Amino acid sequence: MAKAIKTNVLRQLDARRIPYETREYAVEDDNFDGKLVAGKTGLDPAMIYKTLVLTGDRQPHLVCVIPVEKELDLKAVARASGNKSVTMLPQKDLLPLTGYLRGGCSPIGMKKLFPTYLDSAAGNLETISVSAGVRGCQVILATVALISQTRATLADLCRE
């Protein structure tokens, strides 16, 4: 039997006695498409969220957590975060800054707690799924627990 994955995300949740479950799936190349993850895990795509790291003119780094089926609206993020403008963090800077690789980035357990914004659609979900901190593993937890764990602010972050 394969050994269960234990990541920093899961260790943090365990330490705080936050209930969760995980879903592991096979990773193919560099394809981290959310619909593919939904198909492989059997999860509803509407509950799977991706983690994006950005830089702002007033906040050096911020984290946005949005549904995998949607696109980030940079102007909406700037408004929500109090920045005049925001840009995506270059991929080469992701690992040194957060401790995570592309496709395995989680809003929980980053090297530092950055200002975090969760798309307002998550407010309608009882449970939510985000990366467990490695490619090929999702963690499912109560949305309120994710908000508490990351100190996230709910905001409209996506294009219509």
Domain boundaries, the chain: 8-155
Residue 94 pLDDT greater than 50, yes or no: yes
CATH H superfamily, domain 8-155 = YbaK/aminoacyl-tRNA synthetase-associated domain (3.90.960.10)
Residue 1 pLDDT greater than 50, yes or no: no
Q: Give tens-digit pLDDT for 126-157.
A: 999 999 999 999 999 999 999 999 999 999 99
Rounded to an integer, what distance in angstroms lies between the CA atom of residue 135 and that of residue 60? 26
Rounded to an integer, what distance in angstroms lies between the CA atom of residue 147 and that of residue 118? 8
**For residue 125, which amino acid is it?**
L
